[in-house]
Chains A and B, each alone.
Chain A
């Protein structure tokens, strides 16, 4: 089932109406049925696997609380090992186990498991399950008593494919909340979905061909393509992924469930450290809470080097989470280096830049952050390390061809809309008075609002035909 389709959204809308017609005790069960139906439409084997997987985590969490200290540790470790092992088996065998088996001349390919259990959403539900077990073990939350709720936490269909990575404590609170119809749920949900569709179909899909074109033809392109790529690929990823997130958040909102936000005007961050507090927040905060804090706390005797160690481990794992490959490892390492640089040069940078006017300082920081992230994304989008190396080699050839081999109109259209969106974010962050004036105008004039929604809807409808996949779907 394609989440970016009119029929899917209509189906979700009708389901939301049915949901509110049901008596409260049956509503979560109804959501579980919907989620299971969604996963079954992807693969029935995956659904069976997920039910089993949820059962294992459900019982583990309950046992962890009941057990004595020694047993608690054992059960907790077993839980983490089980969760990580299934992640490795489902996602990383081609990079980890299979080469060893090949080396040992063992005629078994773990990667073939993909034929039976398609690894969709695996990175997301694994992190959610691990986070839940850690919370229970640390006593930060009580184990969920109703299996249906835990199953829903791991399989809730709007967030199943690409997140956001929901925190169990927050999600269960949403489920346990007395849910009468909250005023505005349907309209806010639909507006958020519409905005998400616009970001994905109208903006990101116009940027995608250029990014794909450059990576498929690196050998023959000029330097200007690569420079442009560093600008386009962050925009593409942001509008693709935040578009998906908005659709997921909007769908959940239709059912009265508030999912955690995943983006907060990331391109207005003035440094990389701050950028990761604004971009893919659910993932970066998960790594911060469950990896960085844990690792650096264990090595606290090392002083400042505990943080350095924690940072490198966290960002390497962050890179690997995205996929099995040297590219992602290097991406993690590059990000770790950049944050370490910011960490160790904070004082000097502060002194140096304090001489500049405030505005210049802010925009320089934003510019550097954007360009650096655009550069780092080459490791993310590139199909393999060879292509990345070739890309950088071409960059330093300084060979400007001056002729774009593809139609530039879609790119211009996509970039213009993307910049328009970012301009609104700038107003929201930097010019609060102007923004609130515009906002009050927006609230006051219903006709303008309706016209704007019609225009957005028409654009979205015009882009609906044909398939549409998300960048973060592959993780």
Chain B
């Protein structure tokens, strides 16, 4: 009798809990229907709702998976958001006629991401004829934490939990600040300052074949008022950036060196022509020398190009969109420099 009474009380409490949770289930349903981060369904065009920050790693990987069979990509650009400005279109001019470039980039790309992508392409049996790897002075070899929904690796490429990926992406959606910004933008169609953290505030799109990035909104703003562009971003372009060369501490541990060696082994197997670029950075920080020696020991001096520290790229503020990303024409010049040695052979 007592037991039965207990069970009745349990069910009535469960009903109350479910009733209370109803709005959250509605939110879940909305998420499933809307798929704002484009992680639930298959898409041919990923340029939907470009004002929502998406996981670039996931989108790049998904796009590659969708197109790999029909387009036979064989030339790849790897790297973080700075690699967005290494244009596949420009690169094509330096490649063979048949070569098909793909920008396999990810936000805040880590060596673990690059390594897993190269291994994935290799495993899938695709050819790797040409590769550009863009390394960041500080960002490519730091401690790897795979728990941020914007930076998380695609679980089919980097061994990780699909459930965790989708759970964390969903938690991004239920953030009330994100929802507020999204609903406000959807209703008003205007951007407000506070939305900047949660939404992409300048128009942009990605090519559905090469995954090339076009930051049209930013380019338009610069075209209209190039001086004002910098004035409006005092936080990005701090004045007291390092006048002297600034050295950062070594980051390349044994695990990362092994991963670089594994990448090299795959390149050798594919007879890949590869270029490793350490991009210029606004703060003029210098890539750690001992790390550079290790990278050169793996890939060879001729294939590693260090543009970190003070140089004509990093000196000019106008070469950067912000304090992280160099401009596309800088990317074009970098391609030209690294290929200038064997340009005539092509």
Q: Which residues of A contact B (CB under 8 A)?
A: 5-7, 13, 17, 20, 180-187, 190, 450, 453-454, 457-459, 461-467
Contacts and interface: CB of A to CB of B under 8 A. Distances in A.
B16 A187 contact: yes
Tell me what chain A mostly uses at the interface: helix, strand, loop, or mixed.
Answer: helix
B148 interface: yes
Contacts of A13: 17
B265 interface: no
A466 B148 contact: yes
A7 B3 contact: no
B17 A187 contact: yes
4 closest Cβ contacts across the A-B interface? A181-B6, A180-B6, A465-B171, A464-B171
A7 B6 contact: no
A467 B2 CA distance: 43
Given A181-B9, A186-B10, A457 B171 contact: no
A183 B9 contact: yes
Contacts of B174: 461-462, 464
Interface string B266-297: 00000000000000000000000000000000
B10 A465 contact: no
B172 A453 contact: no
18 contacts: A7-B163, A20-B6, A180-B6, A181-B6, A183-B9, A184-B13, A186-B14, A187-B16, A461-B171, A461-B175, A462-B175, A462-B177, A462-B178, A463-B175, A464-B171, A465-B149, A466-B168, A467-B147
B247 interface: no
Interface in B171-204: 171-172, 174-178
Given A180-B3, A461-B176, A467-B147, 18 more contacts: A13-B17, A20-B6, A20-B7, A20-B10, A180-B5, A181-B6, A183-B9, A183-B13, A186-B10, A450-B20, A454-B23, A457-B24, A461-B175, A462-B176, A462-B178, A465-B168, A465-B171, A466-B148
A459 B17 contact: no
B9 A467 contact: no
A463 B172 CA distance: 9
Contacts of B26: none
A183 B8 CA distance: 10
Interface in B150-186: 163, 167-168, 171-172, 174-178
Given A458-B176, A464-B174, A5 B7 contact: no
Interface in B98-152: 145, 147-149
Contacts of A180: 2-3, 5-6
Interface string B11-28: 001101100100110000
Contact of A7 (B17, B149, B167): B167
A450 B22 CA distance: 13
Contact of A466 (B2, B5, B147): B147
Nearest to A454: B23
Contacts of B167: 5-7
A105 B6 CA distance: 65
Contacts of B14: 17, 186
Contacts of B172: 465
B171 A6 contact: yes
Nearest to A1: B164
B176 A459 contact: yes
A180 B5 CA distance: 9
Given A5-B167, A187-B16, A465 B175 contact: yes
A187 B18 CA distance: 11
Nearest to B179: A462
Contacts of B20: 450, 453
Contacts of A467: 145, 147
